[in-house]
């Protein structure tokens, strides 16, 4: 789990903020061993509308799967399956 409430952090609830809910890596959940760069619909969900790769703190991916994401997004970009940059959609 990416974030857990550890004791040295201030209690967010007392401070009136939102409590971060723990995220689970979706790839781990599905038992994905290999992320295909040809799987464009899946990769689309891992980049923002500008075509930038979403950070781990947003998607909740584990380190291993985030590495697979970066490699396959970059491969897809080279093959013109995904844009390097896209104008604001």
Partner 1 sequence: MKAYECIVILDPKLEEVEVDKIAAKIEDMIQKGGGVLTNTNKWGKKKLAYEIDKVNEAYYVQFNFNAPFEFNKEFIKTVKFINGMIRAMVFNTPVEKKKTRKIATPAPATM
CA-nearest of 43, 32, 27, 42 to 77 is 43
Termini Cα distance of the chain: 32
65 lies in the site for partner 1, by CB under 8 A: no
CB of 18 or CB of 45, closer to partner 1: 45
Instruction: Provide the 8-state DSSP code for 82.
Output: S
Q: x/- contact string, 14-53, with partner 1 (CB under 8 A)?
A: -------------------xx--xx---------------
* Min dist. Cβ of residue 43 to partner 1 (A): 11
Kindly report the CA angle at 79 between 67 and 30, in degrees rounded to 5?
40
Q: What residues make contact with partner 1 under the rule CB under 8 A? A: 33-34, 37-38, 75, 77-84, 86
């Amino acid at each position: 789990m990416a974030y857990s409430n550890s004791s040295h952090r201030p209690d967010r609830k007392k401070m009136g903020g939102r409590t971060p809910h723990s995220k689970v890596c979706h790839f781990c959940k599905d038992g994905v061993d290999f992320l295909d760069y040809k799987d464009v619909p899946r990769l689309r969900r891992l980049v923002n509308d500008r075509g930038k790769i979403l950070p781990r703190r947003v998607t909740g991916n584990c380190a291993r799967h985030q590495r697979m994401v970066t490699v396959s997004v970059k491969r897809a970009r080279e093959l013109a399956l995904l844009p390097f940059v896209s104008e604001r959609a």
